[in-house]
Structure 1
């Protein structure tokens, strides 16, 4: 007898490659992705430096993860709600972007 996994399998996380990231994106992001990809690659070619390409991947990968997991819409709705509260001058319980990003990356790495 073999052990069966319990609970749902974690959603696969896209690889950190332009091809995998693009494949995971929601359709409304593909045009911007393609445009920024071409610009990053042109800059990397001109400067003989991969930093622009690597920065591009780091910028788009979290979006691809959210899209792959079906969470992008929910996250953008939450962000819009927070922006609306800020626009109305309501108090916001906040953490720094660095803390939020660290928490998000930890959740992604844990397969949540």
Structure 2
């Protein structure tokens, strides 16, 4: 049995603001910057929110780096759904109900 690494092409993305921002696809950088600015320009910086922010964006950077084409496709599909060019499909609750799972 082999274990798959959960890093980008064998290289770990350092969990720092600079490294995470540099590893993000260009389409995600503006959202990263806007969210960071909102957190850091509060009268009192919430360190838990800042840590959650970095953790979340680090996971996004890792996921995007693992398969950039898949990440791009996912974002394109999300934009199509958001703009109304494509239906969202069934909800998770509908899929589970169809399989006999009650929530």
Output the TM-score relative to the length of structure 1: 0.54
Indicate conservation of the 8 Å contact 1:24/1:68, yes or no.
yes
Is residue 41 of structure 1 aligned with residue 23 of structure 2? no
Is residue 74 of structure 1 aligned with residue 74 of structure 2? no
Q: Comparing both chains, which one has the higher relative contact order based on Cα–Cα distances under 8 Å and sequence gaps of 6 or more?
A: 1
Change (3 A) 1:76 1:15: same
Equivalent residue runs for 1:55-94 within 5 Å: 55-69=52-66, 71-74=67-70, 77=73, 84-86=88-90, 91-92=95-96
Residue 73 of structure 1 deviates from its aligned partner by: 4.2
2:18 is aligned to 19
Aligned residues: 81
Separation (CA, whole Å) in 2 of partners of 1:75 and 1:42: 30
Q: What root-mean-square deviation, in Å, do the aligned CA atoms of Structure 1 and Structure 2 show?
A: 3.5
Runs (4+) of structure 1 moved beyond 6 Å?
A: none
Q: Provide structure 1 residue ranges, at least 5 long, that are not aligned to the other structure.
A: 1-9, 94-112
